[in-house]
Amino acid sequence: MRTRFFKFSSAALAALALGTIGCESSEEDTGGTTDADAADGSDSTDGTDGTDSTDAADGTEAGGGDTTDGTDATDGTDGTDGEVSTDSTVDGEDGIIEEPPPCEVGSKITAVDGKDQCCTCSGDSCENGLDNSLAGIASLANSALQGTIEDGDVNIVAELVGDTASTFTINMYTADLDPANAECDINNGPCNWQLGLEAFGPECTSLISFNNATIDAEGNLNAGGKEGLFVLSLPIQGFVLELKVIGATIVGTVERDDKGAITKMAGILGGAVPKAALEEAVDKLPEDGLPLPKPAIKNLLATVIKADIDGLDAAGATGTDGVKESASVAIVFEGIPGAITALESAEGQDPAPVCTEAPALETYSDVVFRMNALQLGSSGKAGQALDVDGVCVEPNQTPAEG
C-alpha cells in the first residue's frame, strides 16, 4: 500500500483560510482610503461600507447618521447604506462573525425520533452516528478475507439456541467440514460441520456467545452489547491478525418459511477493537514471511485506524474512563443454513486443547448457520456500519463520552 502525504505551504494555507471565511462576499469598495465621508451627507456613494474605516472623522456630518460611526461599529444607522444591515464588521475590522457549528467536530446532525441530534460518527463517509474506523483497511483486508471464506480456510458457525420467538442464545464456533460431508459446496450449502476444540473455553463452553438475542415480529435480529465479545481472523497482505472485538453487537434480519423455521440470516456485527489488542495481535505474528517489520506494520495501522471509541476503563476492563482507546469496526455477514454433526477429537493435538471433550452432539441446536460473505464494512453508512458508541446530544452541546 502506498501512503501519500500532502504538504501545504503557508501561502496555500492562507488562501484556504481566506477561501473559508470569504463565503459571504460584498461588492468591491473602490474608494480605498479616499472614502472619506466629507461630503457623504447620506453615505449615498458608500455602496458596501465594507472598508469604511475612514468614518472616524465622520462624526460631524449633520444629518448623515454617522454621528457614532467612529469605528463603523454601529453603522446600522447609515440610512441609505443598502448593505450595512449585513455588515458584520466588529470594532472597525471586517472580520466574519461565525455562528458556532451545530455539532462538535467528530459528530454530525441527524434525526433521532423526529428530533435533530448530534451523533458521533467515524470512518469513511460516515453518517447518522454510524461508526466504522476499520473501514480504512477494508480495501486491504476484504479480498483476502473473502478468499479464506470461499476456500473454507475460515469457517464460523453460529447456532441459535432456545425459542427464537423469545430471548435466546447465539453461540459461535470455528469449524471444518464434517469429513463425511467433505464434498459439500460450502458457499451454497447446506453443509454438515465439525466443531473445532479451539472454539471452547476451559469449561467447554463456547468462547463466543450472545445470551440476549431477540427477533421481533418483522424479523429484526438484535444481540450483544457492552459485554459482547467476538474474535475475528483478519488476513492482511500475507499475514493474519486475530482481532478481539469488544462491545460486540449483532443487528440483522432473518427470514422464516411457512412453518416458522429460520431459513436466512444476514446483518452486521459491530464493536470496537482496542488499540492495545491490535498491537498485541501484531506482536503475535510469526517473525518470518511478513511484508514489513512489525514496528512498520504497527505504524501503518496506527496511521490508517483512528481510536474513536471509549470502551475500556482505566484498568482495561469493559467500561469507560473518558479516553478513546479503541477503533470501531463493522463486519457484514450472511448466514447459510447447515448442521453440527461432528466434534474434533483432542487426541494427538499438541499442545492439548483447553477443552478436551466438547458437549455431546445431541446438545446442539438444529438452527445452524455458517457465516458467509464475511467482510469489513466499507464505510460508516447504512448497511455497512452500526452506531457503536450510541452518543447523541442536542445540537450545540458537546457530545458526552461513552
297-341 tens-digit pLDDT: 899 888 889 899 999 999 988 889 989 999 999 999 999 999 999
Higher-confidence residue of 202 and 51: namely 202
User: What percentage of the chain has pLDDT greater than the value 90?
Assistant: 42
User: What is the spatial distance between Cα 214 and Cα 169, in angstroms, rounded to a whole number?
Assistant: 9
State the pairing for strand pair 392-393/229-236: unpaired
Rounded mean pLDDT of 211-225?
95
Q: Is the dihedral of CA 385, 389, 392, 398 positive or negative?
A: negative
Are the CB atoms for 161 and 168 separated by under 8 Å?
yes
| Per-residue model confidence (pLDDT) at position 270 | 95
Q: Which three cell numbers mark 246?
A: 469488544
Task: Tell whether omega for the bond before 190 is within 30 degrees of 0, i.e. cis.
Answer: yes
Average per-residue pLDDT in the chain?
A: 76
Instruction: Name the pLDDT band for 3 (thresholds 50, 70, 90).
Output: very low
Report which of 218, 212, 214, 209 is spatially closest to residue 165, judged by C-alpha positions: 214
State the pairing for strand pair 262-274/239-256: antiparallel
Residue ranges per structural domain of the chain: 34-98, 125-390
Rounded mean pLDDT of 183-198?
93
State the pTM of this model.
Answer: 0.69
357-400 tens-digit pLDDT: 999 999 999 999 999 888 999 999 999 999 998 876 666 655 44
